[in-house]
Amino acid sequence: MLAIMDNYRSPLSLSQLRALALLLAMLTLVAAFLCSFSGPISVVENAGWCFWQSIIWQGRVTRIIAAGLVGGGLSIAGLALQALLRNPLADPYILGISSGAGVGVIFGLSLAARTTSVQVATIPTLAFVGAVTTCAVVYAVAQQRGNIDPYSLILSGVMINSINTAIIVAVYLFIDPHTLTSFVGWSIGQVPDTVAPDQLLFCGICIIGACVYILLRGAAYNTLGLGDGVAATSGVPIRRLRIETFVCAGLVTACAVSMVGPVGFLGLFIPHICRMVFGPDHRRLAVVCGFVGAMFLILCDTFCRYISIAADLGGFPVGIVTAFLGGPFFIWLLRGRRRTRLS
């Protein structure tokens, strides 16, 4: 217990945190800038040094910004859920929050196909309703007398995932077959070639706002790691923190899913990798996970673009890459927890 408390109460210099954030921000910008030149058409050859005026380059920039927002947002949301539930297996995708948001998005897209009165905020709002509803159901099913069993939480997430997937497939039956291909790509997790500026602005503000709130609650997550009793006596409003965390995680997931679809496992392995390198302090981890997750998804999406060019595909979903990486990582974590429990 004393060792854990020493880890959580390790001195955190504000100037060092700012320097780390500035360094990671610069690395993210450099990665994004270099990746903006990757594609089947060379913007430099076609536009010269005025590449920033090229429509092709501008379209790639919006795609990269969307990937960065989604990667950073989902990583921070996964970090917050793991801290809140004290469960290293917690992730918006595994708990069914992504599929719940997907149900809202698919209804919003179906509504948009039938009427022209759908506003920019309609689809993210419907996704947010689906995500928060899923959070409430999963938490209610896994909770027993105020305690949450880790395996009940995962099983309830799998159950809700199955139900949401069935709803999405049922909605597919009423979609025009000529537009079904784009829906299938979205359902796997695919960053679109271009994102509408108004949608990017709206979702970006929501994601950044929710992530800043989670950052400001880093000290509370540190205390919560010592147990509900210690957190309560230390003045942490546990009940309110749970509601606020689920709302923030649901908002981030809803905006991410409305832009690129349900990208799986990103909120699982990015926080774990950052925790191994930078320690358990959530005030530091919230900053690190945001930039590392953004860089990771930007690079993965660029890799997917190269695969699309090499294989002459219309698009290669980035969700396939994250699933190949996150699936084995999830199994490794699950087996590790099982061995610890039996020993």
* Virtual torsion, Cα 74, 329, 246, 130, nearest 10 deg: 80
Contacts for 125 with CB less than 8 Å, ≥ 6 apart: 104, 254
The answer to whether 43 and 57 have CB atoms below 8 angstroms apart is: yes
144 forms beta bridges with 147
**What's the average model confidence in pLDDT over 160-183?**
79
Q: What is the pLDDT of residues 27-49, one digit of tens each?
A: 999 999 999 887 766 666 566 56
pLDDT of res. 293: 95
For residue 113, is it within any domain? Answer: yes
Provide the 10 A C-beta neighbour count for residue 185: 19
For residue 165, is it within any domain? Answer: yes
The answer to whether 82 and 74 have CB atoms below 8 angstroms apart is: no
Confidence of residue 2 (pLDDT cuts 50, 70, 90): very low
Give the phi and the psi of residue 98 in degrees, each rounded to 5.
-65, -45
> Rounded mean pLDDT of the chain?
84
Count of structural domains within the chain: 1
pLDDT of res. 133: 92
For residue 223, is it within any domain? Answer: yes
143-144 vs 147-148, strand pairing mode: antiparallel
Q: What's 108's domain CATH number?
A: 1.10.3470.10
Task: Please give the distance of CA 79 from its chain centroid, rounded to a whole number.
Answer: 10
For residue 338, is it within any domain? Answer: yes
Give the phi and the psi of residue 144 in degrees, each rounded to 5.
-135, 110
Q: What is the pLDDT of residues 319-334, one digit of tens each?
A: 999 988 888 888 887 7
Instruction: Return the DSSP state at 50.
Output: G
Instruction: Return the DSSP state at 42.
Output: -
Distances (CA, A) of 193 to 39, 182, 184, 186: 11, 12, 15, 12
For residue 315, pLDDT beyond 90: no
pLDDT of res. 116: 64
Measured N-to-C along each axis, helices 97-114 and 238-260 cross at an angle, to the nearest 10 degrees, of: 50
**What's the average model confidence in pLDDT over 110-126?**
73
Domain that holds residue 283: 54-342
* Virtual torsion, Cα 106, 112, 114, 118, nearest 10 deg: 130
- Of 327, 339, 335, nearest in space to 94 by CA: 327
Residue 274 CA to residue 271 CA, distance in Å, equals: 5
Residue 210 is encoded by which pair of tokens? 């929710």
pLDDT of res. 73: 96
147 forms beta bridges with 144
In SS3 terms, 300-324 reads as: HHHHHHHHHHHCCCCCCCHHHHHHH
Q: What is the percent of the chain where pLDDT is above 70? A: 85
For residue 3, pLDDT beyond 50: no
3-state helix, strand, coil in the chain (%, to 5): 80, 0, 20
For residue 5, pLDDT beyond 50: no
For residue 12, is it within any domain? Answer: no
* Virtual torsion, Cα 329, 332, 335, 337, nearest 10 deg: -70
pLDDT of res. 45: 59
Confidence of residue 8 (pLDDT cuts 50, 70, 90): very low
Residue 146 CA to residue 258 CA, distance in Å, equals: 33
For residue 110, is it within any domain? Answer: yes
For residue 46, is it within any domain? Answer: no
For residue 111, is it within any domain? Answer: yes
Q: What is the pLDDT of residues 9-27, one digit of tens each?
A: 455 577 878 888 899 999 9
Residue 90 is encoded by which pair of tokens? 């917690």
**What's the average model confidence in pLDDT over 176-198?**
78
- Of 177, 206, 223, 203, nearest in space to 84 by CA: 223
